[in-house]
Structure 1
Amino acid sequence: MRAGEELAGRYRLEAELGHGGTGEVWRAHDSALGRDVAVKVLLEFDASEELLGRFRREAEIGARLRHPGLTVVHDTGRHEKRLFIVMELLEGEDLARRIAAHPGGLPLPEVLDLGLQAAEALAAAHAQGVVHRDLKPANLFLLTEGRLKICDFGIARTADATAALTATGRVFGTPAYMAPEQWRGEQVDASCDMYALGGTLYALLTGTPPFPLGENAWVLMRLHLDETPAATDTVRADVPAPLAELVDELLSKEPGDRPDAPAVAERLRALLDPGAPLPPPRPGRPALLGRRAGPRPASAGRPAVTRRNLLLGGLAAAAGVAGGTYTVRLLTKDENRGGPAGDRSVVARHTDAVQSVVFSPDGRFLASGGGDREVRMWDMTADSGSASFPTRGAAVTCLAFSDDGTVLASAGPDRSITLSDVGRRSAKAQLWTSAGVMSVAFSPDGTLLADADDRVVRLWDLAAGTAAAVLRGHTAAVRSVAFSPDGGTLASGGEDGVVRLWDVAGRSAAATLTGHTAHVASVAFSPDGKTLASGSGDTTVRLWDVARRTAAAPLTGSNSPVRSVAFSQDGNYLASGGGRTVRLWEVVTRSAAPNFNGHTGAVTSVAFSPDGLHLASGSEDATVRVWRRPFP
C-alpha cells in the first residue's frame, strides 16, 4: 500500500503505523465523516481460509464489543481483493514500550491503575462471550488521556463459536504469556486471559515476563507447564503482599484456581483505595510461596506519554457510527436516575463517555454532554418533562452557559459551535471553526465567546456572529479556556504544557505560566479572579497568583492525569477530576478535603452549583453524579 491511496472511495491512507508479514496498519482519513481512523489491510490477495477467518473474526468481534477499554471497529471492506478493517485511531503507546522504558518496573500506583483498567475491559469482553487468547503488553494500548485499550482480537473466539480458530500442530498466542492449557492445545476459556493478565502484571511490576525471554519455545513450554516464577515481592521489595498473592493466583497452572476478571478488578480497586478493606484470599487456595508484607502503594503521578492523542477521536467515532442525531433532554427528578441499589448520586446516564458538566448560573439546570451526541439537562428544582434540540451530528466535548443563563453553547470535533436558546429548547445560531473544539467559555458580559480551536484561541463577537480575534501562541492543541470574573483576562491551557494569559481588550498575550510537565487539560479562575487553577496530565493541580504570575507548590494526590478543575462559588474549595475520583482541597490551607468515589471510569469534568451545596461530575463510565458537600 502507499500514502495517498484511497480505499472504498473514502479512506485516504496518510502514514503507515506498522506492518507485519501479512498486513499493514495505516493512519487514514475518512472523507465521508471527516475523521482520522486506523486502517488494517490484509496484504495477501489469496490468503488462506485460516487467515481470512481470523481477519473477519477480528472485525466481527470488534464491531460487537462495547466498552471504553475495548478498541472500536467502524467498518470493513475490500480494496483490490484485499480485506481491510477500519478502527478508531489510537494515539499513545503500548505497554510493551512502557515496560521497556522502565526495566525495574513501573510505579505501583500506575501498575494498579493499568491492571484495573485491563481487568474491567476483560470483564466486559468475557461478559459478552469473547475470549481474547493473546493478551500481552503489546496488545494493551495506553492513550495519552490515561485510558487503556485492549487491541488486536485477531485470534479471539466467542463462547458460542462452532469451531475454534486452530490449525493442525499449532497453538495460538504469544509464548511469554500463554497459559498452560494453550500450550497443551486444549480448548480454552476466559481463564487463559486471566493467566495472561497475571503475566502482564508481573511484567509491569518487574520489567520482565514471568519466565525469561530468549528461551526457545520448548523451554518456555516446560517452564509454563511445570515451573513457578519467582514471586513479585521477592523480585521487588515494595510490592504489597496482597498484590503478589493476586499475581500468583492468576499464574496458577490450573484454570479453575485463577480468579475471574470481576474479582481481579475488585481486588485491584481495593489496593488503589488505601481506606478500603482488602478482600480475603480465595478459600482453599494455598500460598505458592511465603510472603513478606510490603507497604501499600503511595500516590504517584503517571509519567507523561510521549505521543499526542488525536483530538477526541473516540468521540468522533461514536458520532459517526450512530448517525446524525443530536438531542437535548430535560430530565425530571425521577427519569434516568439510579445505579446500584441505594445509590442516589447518579442523576443522568449517557450511552457513551460524558465529557462535560455545567450548572446554569441560577443553579436550576445541570447540563451534560458526551460521545452519544446528547446534551441532557437536569432540573434541580422541579419536574419538567423533556424536549429535543435540532440535529448537530457530532459528539459533544464541551458546554457553557451564558452569564444570564439564556444561551447554552455546545461544541465538539465536527468544527462547529451550536448556540441554543435554553428557554425555547431550540438552536439559534451556529459558528464554524477551523478544527475540533475542546472548550468554550462566555465572557461575563455575554458579548464574547472563546473557544479552544486546535492551536489557537478564537474570540467570537456574538452580536455580529463573526470571529473578533484569533489569539496565537500555543505550540500544540489548546485544551481549555476560561474568562476571569471581570472579563479582562482570558486563560488558556494546552498540550504544550503551558498556561497563557491574554488581555481581552487588547487581544494580545499578557503572560505565559510554566511549571507543568505535561499537557494542561483544564483552567479555572477563582470567584475573586485572584487565583487561577490548572489541572494537568502530570497528575497535579497548580494554583497561580494571577497578579504575580507565580504558583505555589502543586497540589498532588491523584494517580491519574487531571482532566478538570473547578472552584466553589465562595472560593473556599477546589475540585478536580482525575482517575475515578473527584478530589477536593481547601484553597487557603491547600489541604486535602473529603474526596468523592463512585465512578467506574475516569472523571472528565467537575462543576460546583452556584449555591455551593452540590458538586457534579461526569465520567467515561457514561454517568453524571451529583454529590452533596459533606463539609461547611
Structure 2
Amino acid sequence: MPAPARSRPLKKDFFSQTFKGQKPVLFSENARPSSIPPHIRHLAWSSTGAALATTSGSKIRIWNPDRPNVKSSQELVGHVGSVEKIVWNPVREGEVATTGSDGTVKLWDVRVGPGAHNKAVPVKEIALGDGGLFLAWSPTGQHLVAGRRDDVIVPIDVRMGAMANTEDLIMQEGRKLGSAQTNQMAFSNSGNESWTGQACPNGDFVAVGGGDSLVTLWDTTDWVCKHTLSNMTGGVHCLSFSFDGTYICGAHGMDKDGDKGIHVACAQTGETVHTFETSHIVNVLAWHPLRYWLAYAGDLGGVRVIGLGGNL
C-alpha cells in the first residue's frame, strides 16, 4: 500500500470549518459492535502512514487505511496479557516493537507476511524483568527505550534490526526515574535527548500532560512554558501533535472524570481551534504522520479515523 501524500498546511482560522461535518471511518473487528466500547490500549501509525496498528488485550492488529474491513487486516499473536504500547521503526518500514504486562519487548516484521489465518508471530523477544508500560524508538531506529511498571527505564540496542540474532539485541542496565510513575517518553529529533512527554515533529515544543488535567507546552529554545491548555477535565493519558507540529490534542484514557470529545489546540498560540464530538471518553489518539487524519478509540465499534480518504 503506497504512503499517502503530505497535506498542505492548514491555517487555524480555517481548521474548524474544514472539519465541520467530517464523519470518521470505522475500523472494527466485529460486524455488529457491542454496547460496550472495545478496550483499545494503544494505536500507532507507521512512519509513512501506510498502516495503522491497534492493541486490544493481548491482540495486535495491523490495518490497511485503504481497506478498513477486518478481513484486510493482519493479526500479530505472541503476547500473554495486555499489550500496553506499540511503536513503528521510523526508518525500517514494517518493523514493529511492542511491550506489555507479560514483561517482554517483542519485535515484529510485518513485511514477512502473515501465516495461517492471516496471523503473524514475533521474530525476536527480549525479557524486561517486569511488566512493560511504554516504548520509544530513537529517530535512527537503532535504539529503543522501554519503560517498566516499577518506573525503571531500560535502553535496548537494536542496531542489527528485528531480523538479527538474539545476541545482537542488547538490553542495557535500567535506571529508575523517580517516585512518580512515568507513562510516556519521546526522543528529540536529533536523538541525543529523551523526555517524559510528547515531542513536536518540527522540534519547536515539548508537551507534558498529567493528572491535574493540564497540558503545558515548553519552547525547546529557552525551555520556558509558553502555553498551558486547561480546557480538559480528568488526567491526561496521551498527547499527539499533527505532522507539522501546528496542532495538538490529548486523551484522558479511562479516567471517569474526563470529558467527552477531542479538543484540538494551536501549538503556537495555545487557543482551542476545534472540538471533535465523541459519544464516550477517548482512550487513545494519534495524528497521521503526513496528513491531518486523526485516529482515536473510545467510541463503540472500534477505532475511528477522522479525515481519512479526503484531501486533508
Q: Are positions 1:375 and 2:54 aligned together?
A: no
Q: 1:472 aligns with which of 176, 182, 195?
A: 176
CA distance in 1: counterparts of 2:229 and 2:179, whole angstroms: 26
Asked whether the equivalents of residues 101 and 131 of structure 2 are also in contact (C-alpha less than 8 Å), the reply is yes
Asked whether the equivalents of residues 104 and 132 of structure 2 are also in contact (C-alpha less than 8 Å), the reply is yes
Q: Larger % of strand: which?
A: 2
Residues 534 and 480 of structure 1, relative CA distance in 2, 3 Å threshold:
same
Residues 622 and 480 of structure 1, relative CA distance in 2, 3 Å threshold:
farther
| Cα displacement (A) at 1:567 | 0.7
Q: Which residue of 2 aligns with 1:552?
A: 226
Q: Are positions 1:421 and 2:109 aligned together?
A: yes
| Cα displacement (A) at 1:576 | 1.0
Q: Which residue of 2 aligns with 1:614?
A: 293
1:78-112, Cα deviation, whole Å (9 max, x unpaired):
xxxxxxxxxxxxxxxxxxxxxxxxxxxxxxxxxxx
Q: 2:192 aligns with which of 478, 481, 488?
A: 488
| Cα displacement (A) at 1:343 | 6.3
1:229-253, Cα deviation, whole Å (9 max, x unpaired):
xxxxxxxxxxxxxxxxxxxxxxxxx
Structure 1 portions without partners, runs of 5+: 1-341, 493-522
CA distance in 1: counterparts of 2:221 and 2:131, whole angstroms: 32
Q: Are positions 1:528 and 2:202 aligned together?
A: yes
Asked whether the equivalents of residues 51 and 65 of structure 2 are also in contact (C-alpha less than 8 Å), the reply is yes
Residues 469 and 621 of structure 1, relative CA distance in 2, 3 Å threshold:
farther
User: Which gives a bigger RCO, structure 1 or 2 (Cα 8 Å, sep 6+)?
Assistant: 2
Q: 2:85 aligns with which of 378, 383, 398?
A: 398
| Cα displacement (A) at 1:524 | 1.1
Letter of the 1:534 partner, please give it: V
CA distance in 1: counterparts of 2:76 and 2:286, whole angstroms: 23
Instruction: Output aligned runs, 1:228-307, within 5 Å.
Output: none
Q: 2:213 aligns with which of 511, 532, 539?
A: 539
1:174-199, Cα deviation, whole Å (9 max, x unpaired):
xxxxxxxxxxxxxxxxxxxxxxxxxx
| Cα displacement (A) at 1:621 | 5.4
Q: Which residue of 2 aligns with 1:460?
A: 156
Asked whether the equivalents of residues 55 and 86 of structure 2 are also in contact (C-alpha less than 8 Å), the reply is yes
Letter of the 2:107 partner, please give it: L
Aligned residues: 259
| Cα displacement (A) at 1:475 | 1.6
Instruction: Output aligned runs, 1:215-226, within 5 Å.
Output: none
CA distance in 1: counterparts of 2:239 and 2:207, whole angstroms: 7
Letter of the 1:431 partner, please give it: I
Asked whether the equivalents of residues 262 and 275 of structure 2 are also in contact (C-alpha less than 8 Å), the reply is yes
| Cα displacement (A) at 1:468 | 2.7
Asked whether the equivalents of residues 353 and 622 of structure 1 are also in contact (C-alpha less than 8 Å), the reply is no
Q: Percent identity?
A: 22
Q: Which residue of 2 aligns with 1:449?
A: 144
Q: Are positions 1:347 and 2:27 aligned together?
A: yes
| Cα displacement (A) at 1:552 | 2.6
Q: Which residue of 1 aligns with 2:8?
A: none
Residues 412 and 426 of structure 1, relative CA distance in 2, 3 Å threshold:
same
TM norm structure 2: 0.76
CA distance in 2: counterparts of 1:477 and 1:619, whole angstroms: 24
CA distance in 2: counterparts of 1:363 and 1:421, whole angstroms: 16
Structure 2 portions without partners, runs of 5+: 1-21, 31-36, 113-119, 161-167, 253-257
Q: Larger % of helix: which?
A: 1
CA distance in 2: counterparts of 1:536 and 1:446, whole angstroms: 28
Find the residue that maps to 1:478 and give its secondary structure.
coil
Find the residue that maps to 1:603 and give its secondary structure.
coil
Asked whether the equivalents of residues 211 and 234 of structure 2 are also in contact (C-alpha less than 8 Å), the reply is yes
Asked whether the equivalents of residues 40 and 297 of structure 2 are also in contact (C-alpha less than 8 Å), the reply is yes
CA distance in 2: counterparts of 1:482 and 1:589, whole angstroms: 23
Asked whether the equivalents of residues 218 and 227 of structure 2 are also in contact (C-alpha less than 8 Å), the reply is no
Find the residue that maps to 1:544 and give its secondary structure.
strand
Residues 362 and 413 of structure 1, relative CA distance in 2, 3 Å threshold:
same
| Cα displacement (A) at 1:574 | 0.6
Find the residue that maps to 2:76 and give its secondary structure.
coil
Q: Are positions 1:359 and 2:45 aligned together?
A: yes
Find the residue that maps to 1:346 and give its secondary structure.
strand
CA distance in 2: counterparts of 1:420 and 1:487, whole angstroms: 22
The structure having more radius of gyration, on CA atoms, is 1
Find the residue that maps to 1:479 and give its secondary structure.
coil
Asked whether the equivalents of residues 456 and 478 of structure 1 are also in contact (C-alpha less than 8 Å), the reply is no
CA distance in 2: counterparts of 1:386 and 1:552, whole angstroms: 42
CA distance in 2: counterparts of 1:558 and 1:598, whole angstroms: 14
TM norm structure 1: 0.39
Residues 620 and 374 of structure 1, relative CA distance in 2, 3 Å threshold:
farther
1:92-140, Cα deviation, whole Å (9 max, x unpaired):
xxxxxxxxxxxxxxxxxxxxxxxxxxxxxxxxxxxxxxxxxxxxxxxxx
Q: Are positions 1:430 and 2:109 aligned together?
A: no
